[in-house]
Structure 1
Amino acid sequence: MLTPSTAPPFPFREGALFLIDKPQGWTSFDVVNKLRWKIRKHLGLKKFKVGHAGTLDPMATGLLNLCVGQWTKELKQLEGLDKRYTGTIKLGATTPSFDAETEEDAFFPTEHLTLDMLRETALRFTGDIEQVPPMYSAVKVDGQPLYKRARRGEHIEVQPRPVTVHEFALDNFTGTSVDFAISCSKGTYIRTLANDLAEAAGSGGYLTALRRTAVGPYNIEDAWQLDDLLEVIDQL
């Protein structure tokens, strides 16, 4: 596996892997663009390759793996690694995007829900399962991302995709929300798991918080805060 860069000097041209703790509200491309601009400025180059391995939604925080220079050729091996997440599901309502990025559009009872019931229901979404990607996603149908069609009010039938959920643990149930920890394969939509879990339990649900804590052997505890990394590069 690639060894992350934790301190200068950074081998930008030869290739480096940076573990970044993505801030909330930033797209994955925002992070890539910011780091690319900083490295180009440092090296005095008009072009420089930077890429990420596995998109995080703007609402989400956590581990984003960025390869620079020659190591951008290794992005595919990083994209295929299992991932771990923590977060919170609000119960009793749904949104079109399955997260807090869009407004609530339907409401459901929660009085019958218990933590034991939700844990038992989560077992149905553990192991090798088939999952339909959400309409608000970057999955392309006929060459166009689903989220663009969703914003136009279109609804497209999307074929389910095989994914593997190694662990779906639930805790801190309040009656209207529950926390989770998930370990899963590449391509798993946590938003869809939240929606499907609540629906299967006879209610509704959507993500209000999501944090990626690990990608394969790489952990959030070893990640750079983006501003700290940019400041270090400024000082080189």
Structure 2
Amino acid sequence: MKLGALLLAGLLGFGAAAAAEDDFLVTSGKLSSEDFYRLVSCRALPGGPCTVDPVRWSPSRAQDLAVGFAPVPSTYPPQMIRRMSGAVDHAIAEINAAGAALQLRRARKGEPPDITFHLAPVREGDSIEGTGLAGVDGQVIGAALVTIWWDEGEDLAEAVIVMAANLPLSDVGPVVLEELTQAMGLMTDIRNPAYDGISVFSEDSNSVTRLGPQDREALRRHYPPQDP
């Protein structure tokens, strides 16, 4: 049962008709690991309270998350399709190597993905259409838009990532890595020069192709590794 939904794309809202708010918090200087994790997982400023409840994939689903693509429109640029596909494989490998209790893989043929990439024939600043998903169609897209749904137990049920068709090729890898990482339930970016070029959660940097040390630690805190 999908009881909650969150959109991330420069606007953050709960449900299709909720008021919008920014999807980042402003801080300064390097944060402690605890403050960094609480910021990205429950939208808390350093020393402040959580302002959203953390959500995550259940332990059993987190160990076998299928990532796939919705059917791609014929108008989507072929070069971009190839770049997106390679970027998804790289992002899966990065997240799997973080040491968290997470295991992502490509969805098998005919298997409904847990996390679905939609390559929409829309440009940055356009309204999304054609996904058939309430709360996604009609949203204005930036570089990408992430939507996650969760159940009454705050376990994630589904994630959808829509990618704009006119992303610069050099931005595809960093954007895909950020969106897939956020689809793990780490939903808030950080505006802080200390994290530019270092963290996938940096609001003002779009060049990170590898998870930073605190990015990996945040994943491990959200999905603690199991004892051997």
TM-score (norm. length: structure 2)? 0.24
- Larger proportion of strand: 1
Larger radius of gyration: 1
